[in-house]
Structure 1
């Protein structure tokens, strides 16, 4: 469930930012989906490790840096994928904001049970 939500959020962020920013150039959908799957898997794994030990804000900041590094590093693995450092930080910031909101809702529903 969490992976699907993260995958959808990351894919939407990349779809929206791709035509808006010059720093991001993802030429085909397969590359965008591959980047979304890879980043969603890493962020889901990080959430399982970090949310119990750290606060929401710390986890969101770690998500920001990891998302920016992964999105920037994927240009060396995927052939038709280009992302500048400022584009990676912009996408990472949006993804981290969505992650922070997701963490808040998770903790709210855990306390409510």
Structure 2
């Protein structure tokens, strides 16, 4: 039996500077490199990397109440993808959620998989 699934469509990438935020309070400056995807049944999702000072990253790692606020004013709820953080790491992989608009994503060079 074959299953029909809707293709995952690449929306594009976002990269730049922003802040890690908790309850509207800026906790740490960060840079980020993200990719956005769209699937009809699930809407927009995203993932990518954030970079910040290793001590600050260690103190925030694993928390589920954080957001990324970009310089352009976009706000993404973030969740750390990994369960462990290597010692002295300044980079972490994150998954994005929240109210994301497909128009927020720059179209990348990747082929459209729709």
* TM above 0.5: no
Normalized against structure 2, the TM-score is what?
A: 0.33
Normalized against structure 1, the TM-score is what?
A: 0.33
Looking at CA atoms only, which structure, 1 or 2, has the larger radius of gyration? 2
Instruction: Pick the structure with more helix per residue.
Output: 1
